Amino acid sequence: MEDWIAHFVEEERHRGRLRLLEVAPAVQKADSAALHVRKLMEMLRARAVSDIERFAREFPERQIAYEDHPGGGFTVRRGHYPEVRLTVEPNEDAGTIALSYVFASRSGVLAPKPTTLELSGHAAGWPHFRDDAGQHAFRTTAQLSEYLLVPVFTGRPR
């Protein structure tokens, strides 16, 4: 073969096309998961703020505060005894949302093992999530908001 460079170039281009065909579905899946996480965070943020405002009207003495994070997450704090802090952080690359609580009382500080919500499918435009232990599945923002906020509102871990 006299023009081995032309042959080599053609083989490399062919291998490159095959790699793209192999990688494209994974990239599409990751993009879809990231989109669903962003969508869920927007919907959850709006629902959490609404639920916190409604709760604050009923129980103003419980001093519930909400704070957005630059990375798309948020924190909800109960500012009186027993104090509670919930942190919600999205991980778009993994298609997950990390949840962590810290409870402070006279007996000390309790920080239960963080929970990860994993994308488990979607239907009708709503991404479904389940916790990493597989014990809870959330099909609506109301379900997820209740799951997240009740420990903050009550000051008691689940």
pTM, full prediction: 0.73
CA angle 78, 69, 105 (to 5 degrees): 25
The pLDDT score that the predictor gives to residue 80 is: 84
> What's the average pLDDT block by block, 10 residues per block, for the chain (158 residues)?
78 79 62 77 92 92 91 91 92 86 88 80 52 70 90 89
Domain count, the chain: 1
**Residue-number span of the structural domain to which 86 is assigned:** 4-154
The pLDDT score that the predictor gives to residue 68 is: 95
